[in-house]
Amino acid sequence: MLLAEDLLLLALDPQTGTPVNSSRDPLKVALSGALIAELGLLGLIAEDGRRLAPIGAPPDHPLLADTHALLGTVRGRRAADQLGRMDRALGGVWGRVVDPLVDAGVLGRRRDRVVIVTVTHHPVLRPEVRDEVVRRLRAAATGDGPFDPRTATVLALSGPSRLLEVVAPQRADRRHAKDRIKEATEQAPVAAIVRKVIQEAQAAAATVAATASTTAATSG
């Protein structure tokens, strides 16, 4: 599975089929970060000044191939700008990650009418798939052992996705989990370029979350 698929499964409430903590806006940035980080793990991105640039041949996976191609065209002076705009460039990163999981029978798709708004839910149809992701991330968040690069990347992106309560459901574990998320960001056994992607995704997601909070407070 892709890193972005792991992150999305971690973020979904398995019963309601919607993101926990109403986290979709920062989660979309983190999903873009997970796609680009996966390219980094494959050695297919490099720094170009303050931006990120694709290198090498595009990967076989269609979503990764599109991300690889679009990374060179998304506008922005900084990597965080690119990450913030990748959602639109991909035609909706949420749908691009969700749809293959629906096709594979891992997630369902149900549309409910709530007043005048249609809400789409993606309940988990194969709980063993999500359970494996949650088990692995919780073990990383609450343990003290070494990280593998893929788990470290998803754990680091769980922070800006507002998933602390998912990776550390027990309140007593959350301080340690925060430290582990920081450690996964700063000391994970990943290439420097992947670490940069993670840090830029965290910054971009934090900006999106802050903007959403300000907008909500103003409209309220």
Looking at the domain assignment, is residue 40 inside a domain? yes
* CATH number for 150: 1.10.3630.10
Cβ atoms of residues 32 and 39 within 8 Å: no
- Domain of residue 42 covers 3-213
Reported as a single tens digit per residue, the pLDDT across 64-95 is: 999 999 998 988 888 888 998 999 999 999 99
Mean pLDDT of the chain: 88
- Type of residue numbered 208: V
SS3 assignment, position 72: coil
Answer whether residue 220 shows pLDDT above 60: no
CB 79 within 8 A of CB 51: yes
Residues 182-218: pLDDT tens digits? 999 887 666 788 888 888 888 888 877 666 555 444 4
Q: Is residue 134 part of a domain?
A: yes
Does the residue 152 lie in any domain?
Answer: yes
Q: Identify whether 218 is part of a domain.
A: no
219 lies in some domain: no
Rounded distance between C-alpha atoms, residue 199 and residue 157, angstroms: 9
Rg (CA), the chain: 17
Give helix 24-41 / helix 62-71 axis angle, nearest 10°: 90
Three-state SS for 101?
Answer: helix
| Structural domain count, the chain | 1
Alpha-carbon dihedral sign for residues 77, 79, 85, 89: positive
Residue 99 counted as domain residue: yes
Of the candidate ranges 6-10, 83-87, 116-120, the one whose mean pLDDT is the lowest: 116-120
Q: Does pLDDT of 179 surpass 50?
A: yes
Q: Which residues of 107-144 are buried (b: 16+ CB within 10 A; e: fewer)?
A: beeeeeeeeeeeeebbbbbeeebbeebbebbbebbbee
